[in-house]
């Protein structure tokens, strides 16, 4: 019974019995009888308008909420799928990638190590990956990493240059692999554990080969470094950016030993790599009461990172997000492409793929 407990004349309405019959209840807000046709129509229109506005508001609110969720999803997707492009040869070729492993695979680092201007850049990048980013690489990228490392070692064995630099790289990689295999567990490395043990053995073999290198003096009978005037020798030594190179150069001859201890030489080296504030925090006085710039330098390098210097670096175009080596043109659509390029250090390159 649908009208059980209600007046059958109008379910759900309030009615009052009068002398003229049943009449709808007086609406105090409208100021008249709801039984009046015109009043009822106006109220009905008013209810429909309110209902329509309410529906519009609900639809608009739902649309705003949906748009907000979509925008958040797009922002999250943009950060997760951040596309960086690399130009290789043709102006029509563009390849997109969103992870460090994909970028490492697609950028031709194997050819870059053959260029002396890019060699130190690639080695520094390999070192940073070995320290903290090795597990973020895919299996293919890890294999590519080892292949590039092998080519780097072979180049050093042939040229007999940058030996100390590669020794440090191999030691860093071996230490990281020992930590990953023994302490963390093999699950963080892609592939069979025996394969990584074999790679660690290869690293030890490369280290032994580097230790066995015997640099022979070339058969050159012309002017040597020690034959140059002292002012020229000192000028050349001032262009060395690593204090260990100065120490090694001073061990060649007694005259060079005296030049390698020059206070002004070590002072400029400290000022090149470190800020005045960093230097003031690590002041060391000699027995004569003067600043010992040589000791300060080796103390500073243990506390702060040194200034990195590279002959060539990767460039990022902020307009079209293309990665290319410095001096390599890319199909930029900006009005002034030169102002859009930003030089990337190896650490900046890795930071591109941190979200």
Kindly list the domain boundaries of the chain, sorted by start residue. Answer: 81-210, 241-301, 312-344
Are 85 and 323 in contact by the 8 Å Cβ rule? The answer is yes
Check residues 195 and 76 and name the one with the higher pLDDT: 195
Q: Would you give the distance in Å from CA 174 to the centre of its chain?
A: 23
**pLDDT tens, residue by residue, 216-261:** 776 767 778 888 888 888 888 888 888 888 998 888 888 888 888 9
**pLDDT tens, residue by residue, 224-235:** 888 888 888 888
21, pLDDT greater than 80 = no
| Calpha distance 314→259 (Å, rounded) | 36
Instruction: Give the Cβ contact number of residue 38 at 10 Å.
Output: 8
Structure-token pair, residue 145: 């990493």
The residue among 270, 266, 263, 261 whose CA lies nearest residue 289 is 263
Cα dist from 259 to 182, 200, 224, 299, whole Å: 47, 41, 16, 21
Tokens 């950028």, residue? 107
288, pLDDT greater than 50 = yes
Are 270 and 297 in contact by the 8 Å Cβ rule? The answer is yes
| Calpha distance 47→53 (Å, rounded) | 10
286, pLDDT greater than 70 = yes
27, pLDDT greater than 90 = no
Q: Would you give the distance in Å from CA 309 to the centre of its chain?
A: 18
Are 145 and 109 in contact by the 8 Å Cβ rule? The answer is no
Indicate the pairing of strand 21-24 with strand 15-18: antiparallel
Cα dist from 180 to 30, 33, 66, 193, whole Å: 79, 85, 44, 11
| Whole-structure pTM value | 0.65
| Calpha distance 334→71 (Å, rounded) | 27
pLDDT at position 48 is 44
**pLDDT tens, residue by residue, 103-160:** 777 777 888 888 888 899 999 999 999 988 888 888 888 889 999 999 999 999 998 8
On the CB side of 45, CA atoms within 13 Å amount to 5
**pLDDT tens, residue by residue, 156-181:** 999 888 899 999 999 999 998 888 87
| Calpha distance 135→186 (Å, rounded) | 11
The residue among 1, 28, 2 whose CA lies nearest residue 14 is 28
**pLDDT tens, residue by residue, 61-105:** 555 555 555 554 433 333 333 334 444 433 333 345 667 887 777
What order do you get walking across the sheet with 314-317 strand by strand? 94-97, 84-87, 322-325, 314-317, 341-344
User: pLDDT-based confidence at 44, cuts 50/70/90?
Assistant: very low
Q: How much of the chain exceeds pLDDT 90, in percent? A: 18
pLDDT at position 96 is 53
Structure-token pair, residue 111: 């050819």
7, pLDDT greater than 70 = no
On the CB side of 347, CA atoms within 13 Å amount to 5
Check residues 335 and 52 and name the one with the higher pLDDT: 335
């Amino acid at each position: 019974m649908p009208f059980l407990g209600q007046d059958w004349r109008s379910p759900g309405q309030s009615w009052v019995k009068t002398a003229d019959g049943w009449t709808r209840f007086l609406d105090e807000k409208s100021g008249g009888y709801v039984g009046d046709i015109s009043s009822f129509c106006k109220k009905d229109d008013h209810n429909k308008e309110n209902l329509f506005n309410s529906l519009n508001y609900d639809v608009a609110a739902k649309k705003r909420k949906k748009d907000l969720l979509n925008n958040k999803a797009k922002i999250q997707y943009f950060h997760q799928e951040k596309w960086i492009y690399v130009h290789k040869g043709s102006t029509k070729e563009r390849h997109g990638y969103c992870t460090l492993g994909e970028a490492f695979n697609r950028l031709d680092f194997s050819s870059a190590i053959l260029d002396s201007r890019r060699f130190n850049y690639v080695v520094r990048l390999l070192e940073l990956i070995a320290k903290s980013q090795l597990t973020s690489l895919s299996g293919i990228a890890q294999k590519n990493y080892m292949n590039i490392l092998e080519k780097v070692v072979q180049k050093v064995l042939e040229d007999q240059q940058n030996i100390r630099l590669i020794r440090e790289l191999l030691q860093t990689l071996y230490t990281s692999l020992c930590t990953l295999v023994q302490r963390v567990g093999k699950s963080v490395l892609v592939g069979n554990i025996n394969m990584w043990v074999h790679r660690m053995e290869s690293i030890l073999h490369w280290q032994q080969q580097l230790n066995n290198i015997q640099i022979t003096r070339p058969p050159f009978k012309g002017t040597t470094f020690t034959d140059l005037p002292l002012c020229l020798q000192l000028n050349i030594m001032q262009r060395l950016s690593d204090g260990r190179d100065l120490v090694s150069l001073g061990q060649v001859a007694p005259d060079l030993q005296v030049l390698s201890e020059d206070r002004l030489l070590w002072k400029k080296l400290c000022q090149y790599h470190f800020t005045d504030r960093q230097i003031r925090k690590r002041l060391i006085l000699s027995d004569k009461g003067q600043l010992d710039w040589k000791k300060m330098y080796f103390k500073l390098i243990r506390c702060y990172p040194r200034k990195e210097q590279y002959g060539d670096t990767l460039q990022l175009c902020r307009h079209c997000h293309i990665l290319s080596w410095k001096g390599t043109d890319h199909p930029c659509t900006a009005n002034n492409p030169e102002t859009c390029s930003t030089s990337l250090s190896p650490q900046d390159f890795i930071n591109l793929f941190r979200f």
